[in-house]
Chains A and B, each alone.
Chain A
Amino acid sequence: MIRARWWGPLVGVGLALAITSLALALGGYDVSAALAALWRGAFGSEQAIASFTLKRSVPLLLTGLAVALAFRAGIWNIGAEGQLYAGAVAGFAVGFAGGGLPAPLLLPLVLLASLMAGAVWAALPALLRSRNGTNEVITTLLLNFVALHLTGWLVQGALQEPRGVFNESAPLPTAAHLPTLWPGTDLHIGFALAIGAAGALWAIFRFTRAGFLIRAIGEGPEAARITGGVRSNRLATAVFLASGALAGLAGAVQVTGVDRKLYDALSPGWGYTAIAVALLARLNPLAVIATAIFFGALQAGAAGMQRSAGVPFAWVTVVEAIAVLGVLIAARERTPR
């Protein structure tokens, strides 16, 4: 289990920014101009904050929570990406087919479908894990590729737009669009939904018996089983499915809130970045809000940096990776022999 001093994440972020500055300087870029552009792109205006930073943080937040939930229980779900795709496809399908329904009825159905699809996508690894002890890292990772390519296949076939030119679907009916949260910007109520999910998950871990037992099977599976009398296989399976459901929700929220179409590459790897988001937050759901926004800001700022300072977007990946490495270095705990 990852355990860190409280200042670990700050050290990680500081380290990341320092190393990035150094690398930018070595790369021949104007560091101050680049960092200023990064800041402006992320927080420079109301538009930057809402339509870029916060909007980009929504899928990271939901998948980050999915990963944090699973990791807390000792389940190494690396499949948030695939579960997100499954949720996106199911949400789109329901939204597209139910176009005649009023929005207040249709949207809950869409989100419910995505929750279920995400859980279904996690079900096979969950079952293999509890029945045969199959390593979930491998199964969830492999299913990511299945989900990605299945989506690609769908948008070139059954769900392709009527003209059959682009690898994307026809647009969703407006009844299946998530309403705006911040008027005048692109920020949709999916953001509020994700914040609510983080709060709920935090409360579950903090106050409830179920949350306590989930932590117990993660930290001491034997003790949970023997002393706690927990049916850990069953609980772990439930947590696995819930984690998949949360990641699935991220897919539908993105499709109905932002894309309003189904694309073959709708995620730039949120499900993977989610692992960094969750680890940087030390698996604390409230801290996931902060780290998701941080990563959202990095991505928004990187776009700005590319536009005005000519720094390639790939640099952001470097910053993200160094931030996580920094945290893991700072998290190293001295264990007595």
Chain B
Amino acid sequence: MKEDAAAAGTATPRDVAVRISELRRAFGPVVALDGARLEARAGEVHALVGENGAGKTTLLSILAGHLRPDAGRIEVDGRPVAEGRAWSAREAWSLGIGMVHQHFALVPRLTGRENLMLGVRRVRGGWGLPTRRLGERLGRLELETGLRVDLDTPVEALTIGERQRLEILKVLLRDPRTLVLDEPTSVLAPPEVEGLLALLRRLAAEGRAVLLVAHKLDEVLEVADRITVLRAGRTVLEAARGEVTARSVAEAMVGDAGALDAPARAEVRVGEVRARWSARADGTDLELRAGEIVGVAGVEGNGQRALARTLAGRATAAEGRVELPERVAYIPQDRGREGLIGSFDLTENVALGRHGDPGVRTGPFGLALRWRLLREETGALIEGYGVRAPGPGARAASLSGGNQQRLVVARELHGRPRLVVAENPTRGLDVAGARFVHDALRELRSRDDAPATLLVSTDLDEVLSLADRIFTLVRGRLVEVPAAERTREGVGARMLEALP
């Protein structure tokens, strides 16, 4: 029936796999969902977009059976489910809803095959591992979807993209009719994103409904057949791909067209900052000048970490020379682990980056810290950078991802650094959060004592929009991209060229 509809082409209205209407859910005084609607159809890729806090995660949690809605209806394949009661994760599964979470549930030490085996039920009457049955099903799935993963390597040795494909494979093994993915592209590099989007289209083409939660509009517009925009817990836009533009979707998300326009480009100044770094024995020299943003584009795992850490003075160069200025600001990629301590309050997190500064030290030999001063400074940073937090005494873990990153950016950029190293600074942030980070980096160029900035990012668009000069980083080697080739295609071609 479903396949008939899919085969009949777009003219026939497809079966609605999941219909959510008037969904409502509050957490105490905070209303997360306030009448959200959504219709995901079989054979289509459906994108759910919205800013952080728009209610996407709550909606997904309800759909997955982890949360109970306060009100509203959920229909799966036309049948209402769990009216007036919570439904369980198991029930969601049995109705054919498969979730691929943002954080993968894989055992790092086990191979891909072993991880898959954990998700397969025991063969009836047998005690052994279901190796053969699993093998058959994997073969079939690979034929159908072209999804290939190295199954004999321990998961900890796989790239993020490979782990994600494994996670998707794990969910597909249970043969869901609706596949839900929570921000799957946020962890991937551009080429991997292409692959994932192609995979999602194939999965939909086989008659599944694919529901995709995403931040990045261009990806959404590329892959989705239909789009639902959530804002402040409400569905504000439901449309087919053909009916919207990137701008209309963005406006629906933000609810304010004026906030979208980027500020004018700042003037570039040349100064005295120099940093040299040799990537390989054949040595690539990199010079960073004050007032300039140098972008390093590349696919994850090509030495970005080492480059960023070396230039931030957090790691020593294996070879070659690095001349760094005294004050280096570092915005690390993993803010939750590397940039902040969740159990510390905001003042302590500011102190973490400032404790070496003579201005905050006091007492004999500068052994003590001036906590009152630090608390005042933290208060000022919260105000000045628009960190949404109850105060300097709030724990960092209680802040949303976007506000955590605001705090990190505020702390790092406030101390008049001479060099700023930012490593995937907008990863996992929503439109507003990313815009804040981009504006903060752009603003640096117009300072009187403008620092040199190194932006290491796997987000090619980010590099293209911010950087004055662009390098590609492939297998640890830096190659400058000529000014004429600073386009998506040009940089992409350079990246491929650098491969042997």
Q: Which residues of A contact B (CB under 8 A)?
A: 1, 3, 207-210, 212-213, 215-216, 219-220, 222-229, 337
Docked Cα-Cα span, A223 to B314, in Å, equals 11
Which of chain A's residues have a CB closer than 8 A to the CB of B332? Answer: 226-227
Q: How many CB-defined contacts (below 8 Å) exist between A and B? A: 68
Residue count of chain B within 8 Å CB distance of chain A: 28
Whether A227 contacts B343 in the complex (CB less than 8 A), given A209-B368, A212-B351, A222-B337, comes out as no
**Which interface residue of A207, A208, A226, A337 has the most chain B CB atoms within 10 A?**
A226
Listed A/B pairs (14) with beta-carbon separation below 8 Å: A207-B363, A207-B371, A208-B369, A212-B348, A220-B340, A220-B341, A220-B343, A223-B341, A226-B338, A227-B330, A227-B332, A227-B352, A228-B353, A337-B66
At the interface, yes or no: B492 with Cβ under 8 Å from chain A?
no
Q: Which residues of B contact A (CB under 8 A)?
A: 66, 309, 313-314, 330, 332, 334, 337-344, 348, 351-353, 355-356, 361, 363, 366-369, 371
Which of chain A's residues have a CB closer than 8 A to the CB of B361? Answer: 209
Docked Cα-Cα span, A216 to B354, in Å, equals 13
| Residues A228 and B352 in contact, CB atoms below 8 Å apart | yes
**9 tightest A-B CB contacts, nearest first:** A220-B341, A226-B338, A222-B337, A228-B352, A207-B368, A223-B341, A219-B341, A219-B343, A222-B338
Which of chain B's residues have a CB closer than 8 A to the CB of A222? Answer: 334, 337-338
| Residues B338 and A3 in contact, CB atoms below 8 Å apart | no
| Residues B356 and A229 in contact, CB atoms below 8 Å apart | yes
| Residues A223 and B367 in contact, CB atoms below 8 Å apart | no
| Residues A207 and B369 in contact, CB atoms below 8 Å apart | yes
| Residues A216 and B344 in contact, CB atoms below 8 Å apart | yes
Of B338, B339, B343, the residue contacting A1 (CB under 8 A) is: B343
Beyond A219-B344, A224-B341, A225-B314, 20 extra complex contacts between A and B, CB < 8 Å = A1-B343, A208-B367, A209-B355, A212-B351, A216-B344, A216-B352, A220-B337, A220-B344, A223-B337, A223-B338, A223-B340, A223-B341, A226-B314, A226-B330, A227-B332, A227-B338, A227-B339, A227-B353, A228-B352, A337-B66
Which of chain B's residues have a CB closer than 8 A to the CB of A226? Answer: 309, 314, 330, 332, 338-339
Of B339, B340, B355, the residue contacting A213 (CB under 8 A) is: B355
Docked Cα-Cα span, A208 to B361, in Å, equals 9
Instruction: Give, as a whole number of angstroms, the nearest-CB distance from A333 to chain B.
Output: 10
| Residues B341 and A209 in contact, CB atoms below 8 Å apart | no
| Residues B351 and A223 in contact, CB atoms below 8 Å apart | no
Which of chain A's residues have a CB closer than 8 A to the CB of B337? Answer: 220, 222-223
**Which interface residue of A1, A208, A227 has the most chain B CB atoms within 10 A?**
A227
Q: Which residue of A lies closest to B66 (CB)?
A: A337
Which of chain A's residues have a CB closer than 8 A to the CB of B353? Answer: 227-228
**Which interface residue of B341, B353, B355, B366 has the most chain A CB atoms within 10 A?**
B341
Which of chain A's residues have a CB closer than 8 A to the CB of B343? Answer: 1, 3, 219-220
Q: Which residue of A lies closest to B354 (CB)?
A: A228
Docked Cα-Cα span, A92 to B24, in Å, equals 72
Which of chain A's residues have a CB closer than 8 A to the CB of B356? Answer: 229
Docked Cα-Cα span, A1 to B371, in Å, equals 23
Instruction: Give, as a whole number of angstroms, the nearest-CB distance from A231 to chain B.
Output: 11
Which of chain A's residues have a CB closer than 8 A to the CB of B342? Answer: 220
Instruction: Give, as a whole number of angstroms, the nearest-CB distance from A277 to chain B.
Output: 22
Which of chain A's residues have a CB closer than 8 A to the CB of B363? Answer: 207-208
Instruction: Give, as a whole number of angstroms, the nearest-CB distance from B346 to chain A.
Output: 13
Which of chain B's residues have a CB closer than 8 A to the CB of A220? Answer: 337, 340-344
Instruction: Give, as a whole number of angstroms, the nearest-CB distance from A2 to chain B.
Output: 11
Docked Cα-Cα span, A224 to B340, in Å, equals 8
Which of chain B's residues have a CB closer than 8 A to the CB of A215? Answer: 344
Docked Cα-Cα span, A337 to B103, in Å, equals 11
Docked Cα-Cα span, A220 to B352, in Å, equals 10
Q: Which residue of A lies closest to B367 (CB)?
A: A208
Instruction: Give, as a whole number of angstroms, the nearest-CB distance from B161 to chain A.
Output: 23
